[in-house]
Amino acid sequence: MEGLVVKLPSFPFLSPNISSSSSSSTFRLGFRRFSASISAAVNEGFVSLGQLTRPDFPILHQEVNGSKLVYLDNAATSQKPTAVLKSLQNYYEAYNSNVHRGIHYLSAKATDEYELARKKVAAFINASDSAEIVFTRNATEAINLVAYSWGLSNLKPRDEIILTIAEHHSAIVPWQIVAQKTGAILKFVSLDENEVPDVEKLREMISTSTKLVVVHHVSNVLGSVLPIEDIVIWAHAVGAKVLVDACQSVPHMVVDVQGLDADFLVASSHKMCGPTGIGFLFGKSNLLLTMPPFLGGGEMISDVFLDHSTYAEPPS
């Protein structure tokens, strides 16, 4: 059915225009179809958000120990809706081919779709240019890319990197390795009385010795939401860069990289109902252009000679 008026509980995040004058709000949902499994609930005039979305996830159509499977580990990895699974199947059935490697139909089709995906990611986080989106295997690789390409080239002994103790291990370990190689110093922000990162302490720690601030947008453990805009202003005031781990925020919040003004931002597809094995790094163009290659081979190559090679420009 093209449209259906149903009652939903008052969720302010669903629509800023929903009236909150009563305990429930009525508005029009433009879904093209509803699963038969929720038809009974529709007939009763009430559909929960879970009832609307659950039919889209095949893995949830099973029972465990006699009860419907309830999956609550989305902070680790999310399940995949039918639309994603069908899209993957269509790729392998219809135009599986090397990207940026051929001039035949399948390769051209795959390349077009690949670059279209980059543009969609750029639009999703409001990057000014799709060339600021670098595809990686996951957010961990994206952080390592910044650490090895930007960090090893720009950090020197006694430079300071500020992190919070609530960062994901994948956002800590790469900088430990870089610090060992460069002589940079890691400084950690502790938790406050509310058991979330002490933002005021972070502000106090930023100094002219600070070269990089590495922070989560939303913590995968604490659920803390850090004021990235403020942190960026404090860091930029002393010439430091900011790397934001947005793995938990991008799936649940509007993330505007131009508004945040972060220098680097990473996220991972598998945490937002997408496939595994793909993530991205957002980096400001002026920074990406100065960063040496992280891995050699593949589409980062421009020309190869016996004694040297030239490299393609970002985001390759």
pLDDT in tens, 167-203: 999 999 999 999 999 999 999 999 999 999 999 999 9
Stretch among 68-77, 231-240, 264-273 having the lowest mean pLDDT: 68-77
Give 51 or 13, the one with higher predicted confidence: 51
- Tell me: pLDDT of 297 over 90: no
Beta strands per DSSP E along 95-170: 133-136, 160-164
Listed in sequence order, the residues at least 6 apart from 190 whose beta carbon sits closer than 8 Å to its beta carbon are 164, 165, 197, 198, 201
- Tell me: pLDDT of 314 over 60: yes
The arithmetic mean of pLDDT across residues 312-316, rounded, is 78
Give 180 or 14, the one with higher predicted confidence: 180
Give 8 or 238, the one with higher predicted confidence: 238
The residues facing 24 across adjacent strands are 9
Q: What is the structure's pLDDT at 14?
A: 37
The arithmetic mean of pLDDT across residues 267-282, rounded, is 97
Domain ranges of the chain: 126-290
Stretch among 14-28, 44-58, 136-150 having the lowest mean pLDDT: 14-28
The arithmetic mean of pLDDT across residues 207-231, rounded, is 96
Q: What is the structure's pLDDT at 43?
A: 53
Amino acid of residue 10: S
pLDDT digits (tens, 9 = 90+) for 94-126: 999 999 989 999 999 999 999 999 999 999 999
Q: How much of the chain exceeds pLDDT 70, in percent?
A: 86
Banded model confidence at residue 228, pLDDT cuts 50, 70, 90: very high
Instruction: List the strands of the sheet with 160-164, edge to edge.
Output: 133-136, 279-283, 264-268, 241-245, 210-216, 160-164, 185-189
pTM score of the predicted model: 0.82
Q: How much of the chain exceeds pLDDT 90, in percent?
A: 73
pLDDT digits (tens, 9 = 90+) for 22-72: 333 323 333 333 344 444 444 556 788 888 999 999 999 999 999 999 999
Mean pLDDT across the chain: 87
> What is the SS3 assignment for 96?
coil
Q: In this structure, is the dihedral angle defined by the CA atoms of residues 79, 76, 52 and 5, taken in order, positive or negative?
A: negative
- Tell me: pLDDT of 18 over 50: no
- Tell me: pLDDT of 205 over 90: yes
How many angstroms separate the Cα of 50 from the Cα of each of 179, 218, 260?
Answer: 45, 23, 31
The arithmetic mean of pLDDT across residues 135-142, rounded, is 97
Q: What is the structure's pLDDT at 44?
A: 59
Residue 146: Cβ-neighbour burial (10 angstroms; 0-12, 13-18, 19+) = buried
d(CA 72, CA 269) in angstroms, rounded, equals 17
d(CA 20, CA 9) in angstroms, rounded, equals 10
- Tell me: pLDDT of 165 over 80: yes
Q: What is the structure's pLDDT at 289?
A: 95
The arithmetic mean of pLDDT across residues 121-134, rounded, is 98
CATH code reported for the domain at 126-290: 3.40.640.10
